[in-house]
Copies of this chain bind each other. A is one copy, B any other.
Amino acid sequence: MPPSPSPMKTRPRALAFDVFGTVVDWHGGIAREAAAMAARHRIEGDWPAFANAWRAGYAPAMEQVRSGALPWTHIDALHRMILDRIVATHGLAGLNGLTAAERDHLNRAWHRLPPWPDAVPGLARLKRRFTITPLSNGNFSLLTNLAKHGGLPWDCIVSAELFGHYKPDPETYLGCARLLDVAAGELMMVACHPSDLRAARANGLMTAYVPRPLEHGAATVLPSFDAGEFDLVASDFEALAAMLEAT
């Protein structure tokens, strides 16, 4: 990883975090819940691959909402649409497959994803100096349940649902700043996805890149980025806190 680029001109007043991948381990969480449910049905399969297949449906589904092909649909419903499409190819459909109630339960696994080990201590440390919030495409209740389940110490919950727009639409980044009553330039977006950070930067936000080398499990390919693209690059949330405390 290149060293953190340009020193920041100003200190942020608030930090907005991407959630899936950045704060919580969707890959591990989904793979484990799917494996446990499949085991009860004596179904064998590649559950890390199942998790990646489920997640792979996410960006195209949101794109359908962003383009207007679908009306506003929240993530729980999009996750369920994708799940219904992939159960057959992973041996979870059919007579001995999951019941409707089990599909509902598995769909809610996205509300129970485990935080990365540094997330809770790092957020607690960042919270002492900054207002910290998720800024995620996950629906409001999903983000609220994730926080309750994982003990994420957010100051508030900000979801794309509040704006009727998904990231990377500008309404999400600017809407978050407006709700927190800070200027866009006083808000720092923290994410493991350079695409999210680039959109945040285009809307005037500060940016911090935190790579998550296990986001997709062992198969993760880290995205490329240019030195100097982001205000900070940190290996995890504790390192991010240390950098921000030093400014």
- The answer, yes or no, to whether A131 is at the interface (CB within 8 Å) is yes
By a CB distance below 8 angstroms, the chain B residues around A179 are 140-141, 161
The residue of chain B having its C-beta at the shortest distance from the C-beta of A142 within the complex is: B181
- Provide the bound-state CA to CA distance between A144 and B14, in Å: 12
* Interface assignment of A148: CB less than 8 Å from any CB of chain B: yes
B-contact bits for A102-138, CB 8 A (1 contact / 0 none): 0000000000000000000000000100010000000
Oligomer: number of copies: 2
Expressed in whole angstroms, the Cα–Cα distance for A101 and B139 within the complex equals: 39
| CA A157 to CA B132, docked complex, whole Å | 13
A156 CB-CB contact with B under 8 Å: yes
**Quick one: which of A129-188 are within 8 Å of B by CB?**
131, 139-141, 143-145, 147-148, 154-157, 161-162, 179-181
Complex contacts, A127 vs chain B, CB 8 Å: 148
CB distance from A87 to the nearest CB of B (A): 23
Chain A to chain B contacts (Cβ below 8 Å), 23 pairs: A76-B181, A127-B148, A131-B144, A131-B145, A139-B181, A140-B156, A140-B179, A140-B180, A140-B181, A141-B179, A141-B180, A141-B181, A143-B156, A144-B155, A144-B156, A147-B155, A148-B155, A154-B156, A156-B156, A156-B157, A157-B157, A161-B179, A162-B162
The distance in angstroms between the C-alpha atoms of A157 and B134, with both chains bound, is 12
Question: In whole angstroms, what is the CA distance A88 to B85 when docked?
Answer: 67
Using a CB–CB cutoff of 8 Å, the interface residues on chain A facing chain B are 76, 127, 131, 139-141, 143-145, 147-148, 154-157, 161-162, 179-181
Task: Give the residues in chain B near A76, CB-CB below 8 Å.
Answer: 181
Name the B residues within 8 Å of A155 (CB-CB): 144, 147-148, 157
Contact residues in B for A180 (Cβ distance below 8 Å): 140-141, 144
Q: A140-B180, A148-B155 are in contact. List 17 more A-B contacts (CB 8 A).
A: A76-B181, A131-B145, A131-B148, A139-B181, A140-B181, A141-B179, A141-B180, A141-B181, A143-B156, A144-B155, A144-B156, A144-B180, A147-B155, A156-B157, A157-B157, A161-B179, A162-B162
- Give A209 Cβ to nearest chain B Cβ, in Å: 25
Tell me how far the C-beta of A149 lies from the nearest C-beta in chain B, rounded to whole angstroms.
Answer: 11
Q: Which residues of B contact A131 (CB under 8 A)?
A: 144-145, 148
